[in-house]
Structures are given as structure tokens and as C-alpha cells.
Amino acid sequence: MEKLFGTDGIRGVTNKYPITVEMAIKIGKAIAYLFKGDRQKSSFVVGKDTRISGYMLEEALVAGICSMGGDVYLLNVFPTPGVAFMTRNQNADAGIVISASHNPFKDNGIKIFSGDGFKLSLEKEEQIEDLILNNKDHIIDDCLPEPKDLGRAFRLNDAIDLYTLFLKDTFPQELSMKGMKIVLDCANGATYRAAPKVFKDFGAEVHTIHATPDGININSGCGSQYPEDLANAVVKYGAAIGMAFDGDGDRMVAVDEKGNTITGDQSLLICSDTLKKEGKLKNDTVVTTVMSNFGLGIALKEMGIDHVKSDVGDRHVLRDMLTRDSIIGGEDSGHLIFLDYHTTGDGILLGLQLISSMLKEKKPLSELAAMMTTYPQALINVDVRSKPDISKLPDVGGAIREAEKALGEKGRVLVRYSGTQNLCRVMVEGPTTEATDTYCKRIADEVKKAIG
């Protein structure tokens, strides 16, 4: 069965199916139809990252929504978690983000939040797919309103102020960042306005890099996937912490005062430890994915914290957080969810919580990160032409079994397809860098031979 939605919305190369103007109009109409129901009026919040294609897709989406009688509140360039917040703030029926997150500029995507600020349910996604993919245009067109009932588009010029105020309210009032040196890498993406404003408003000395978007430099050698420039800048300015956001701002990778990269797992551990000491870690439970490092599980166990491992993807993390009544969870990529504050991952919010831990513990970030021993991990992304069942690729399966036998209980192997790109991710974790690199390359080579 053909699908539009992947693990994080609809995504692809711009001007190629499904990321085309024609499809954006159809998606806008389907969303407006689905959320309007029997009501007279519906409203939607729309934001985008800095990709040049965002303007084209925004106009098309808005045209589709307004043609169905829906009103649109435009945020312009805005972080994804900010769109989730503004959706609730404006009592909108849904929020729509035009972004391909950490992907290169040529890609773009559309992801949707429900009115409560949570990502759209699988059921709603399937309903949108059904309307678009199963030749049901006539159902939507039969509901087109009279000209006097068409929707309108409005710009929310105070949206950044509302969002940054929301973020600042999550930081303890008794703590101060005055004089603290902070470096921000905004990935030439959606956080380039909001992130510096938040930390400057707290009195920090903020140095910003990669904050001059031109439509095509988003995520290009910068941001959460490429923290090298950030590490150099932190050392250069003698900063206490550096933060590298991804293109849409829902994830953040930190750098300590020595220029060392802090993983999402380490950030999760630091924040969880602080919450537990304060008696605020609900049910003493933390949710991560199966990709989390061995070292995190060991450290959490030593702290007396239950560790739940979900499938890869923030949707699955959130599901298990709600099921287990946990207030904190996330991915090693730096996509962390603090349910006491927000409905989705927020890179700026994570930065505030890390600084809060540093100030409360009166320790540098490097010392806090040392609570976790990171086990050697190798990850190779293999471009693939198709995504067959891994178990049906005999040579790949053989390489996996060989690695698992050799590593035993001192390591693990995880081979999975990306939900947003034509990639197969091969991850091996083990006792030494040599072992992980060797087995990871061996498996990746077999994947490439079979389907690369």
C-alpha cells in the first residue's frame, strides 16, 4: 500500500513527488477537510524552517487550507517545537511545520501537530493518506465553501515573543546565567532568532555561529550533526557550554567547556539525575530508544532509575512515556522530551535544563557528563535502493550473526532502515573501538552489496 507519511511526517526531495506544489495544495485541503468536520470554521498554525523551498510550499498549503474555508496563522520561520506551542496557544485545530529537520536543504517535508500540541496520530495520518491517495478528491471538493466563506491568512508578528516567554518560564527563577559565556550554533535554521534571544534575556554572554540563513545553507557542515565548529568556538571564547541545534530546532547536541561533544544520552542522564535528586522524576522512569548507549543503561541502574527502551523515533518514545507515566525521555540524537513542560522535543528547552543542572550542582558540564561511561559505538549509513526485510538478506544476516557471536554480552548489533531517508543504518556497540569498527564495516559492506 502506498504511503505518504514516514516516521516524521511527509518528506522528500523538493519538486519531486510528494514534495511538490500540487501535493502541498492537496495536503492543505485534506487537512482542512479533516479538521473542520461539521463546524463552520477551523484554524491552523503554519511555520517553516529556512529552506528556500519553504516559501513555495507554504503558499501552496495555505491556498489549499483557505480554499476549504480554514483560517491560517502564519509564524514565518519558526522552530518545530514552537509551532507545537503556538498551536495550543492559539487554540488552533492543528499546527503544520514545513521542514525536513536535519536533512540537507534540497529536502523538505510537512509534519502536523494536533490541537493539543502532540504529533498527529497514526489514525489521522492514514485518513489524510486515504483522501489523497485513493482518488477521493470529489469528497473534498463537494465540501468547498461559498466564496464568502473562504479562509484567510494572518501573520502572528508577536509569536517569537510568546514562544520565548514560554521557554523562559521553564527555567528556575532563583538561578542566574548572568555573565555565563554560551555559544550557539543555529545550523542556519529555524532557531536563529529565538535561541539567542532566550539566553541573552537571562543575562548570558552569547556568541552565535551559523545564524545567517540564505535558504540553502541550513545544516550545511553545521548544527547538531556537525558540532566541530561549535567545539572550536567554545574553546576560543572560554564558554561554559555550547549548543548545536538542528535545522528545525527540535534537537540539540551540547559541547562542554573543554570542547567535548555531549551526547543526547549524556544530556538525558544529567537532567534525570537532577530531577531524581529533587524528587521530581515521576515513577523514577526514563524512556529512550534501542539506540541508546550501553553506558546510559548502566548509569541509570546505578542511580536507581528504571530504563525503558522504545522503538526508534520520538513518536514511540512519547508513546512509552505516556504509557509508563514518565516525564522525561528521548533519543541519543539530542531530541529530548520534557513532558512537564512541553509536548515534543525542544532543543532550546533542553539547553535551559542542562544549564539549570550545571548551576544547581555547581559543576562544569564536563564533570556532569562524566557520570556516564560511553561505550564505543560505530554507525554507518548505507544508501539503499530498496528496503526489503533484513532477515531475508542471507549474507547480511550472516555478517550480523557473526558479529553478535563475537561480541556476546559485551556488545550488540542493530541494523534498521531510516524512516525518513533511503538509508540503512548499521550500528555496532562493543568493548573496543577496533571491534565495533570492524564488525560495523563488515555488515555495512554486505548491505551495500545486497541493496546499495
**Residues carrying an active site annotation:** 101
User: Which phi and psi (to 5°) does residue 444 adopt?
Assistant: -60, -40
- Strand residues in 39-190 grouped as ranges (E): 43-48, 71-77, 94-98, 107-114, 153-155, 181-185
Grid coordinates of 372: 556516564
Q: Say if residue 196 is preceded by a cis peptide, omega within 30 of 0.
A: no
Residue 244: strand pairing partners: 185, 253
Up-side HSE of residue 133: CA atoms within 13 Å toward CB? 13
Which grid cell sits at 446?
Answer: 554486505
Relative orientation angle of helices 21-36 and 53-67, to the nearest 10 degrees: 40
Q: 324: which DSSP letter? A: H
Phi, then psi, of 308 in degrees rounded to 5: -105, 130
Secondary structure of residue 78 in the 3-state scheme: coil
Q: Which residue type, as a one-letter code, is found at position 248?
A: D
CA 366 to CA 18: how far, in whole Å? 44
Q: How far is CA 104 from CA 74, 107, 187, 192, 216, in A?
A: 24, 6, 11, 17, 8
In this structure, the dihedral spanned by the alpha carbons of residues 357, 360, 363 and 364, taken in order and rounded to 10 degrees, is 40
SS3 of residue 65 by DSSP: helix
Q: CB of 202 within 8 A of CB of 189? A: no
Alpha helices in 37-107 (DSSP H): 53-67, 80-89
Dist CA 295 CA 287 (whole Å)? 15
Cα 128 to Cα 131: distance, rounded to the nearest angstrom: 5
Integer Cα distance of 285 and 300 in angstroms = 9
Give the amino acid at 218: I
Assess contact for 210 and 227: CB atoms under 8 A. Answer: no
In the 8-state DSSP scheme, what is residue 235? H
Residue with cell 531510516: 418
C-alpha distances out from residue 147 to 152, 251, 412, Å: 12, 42, 61
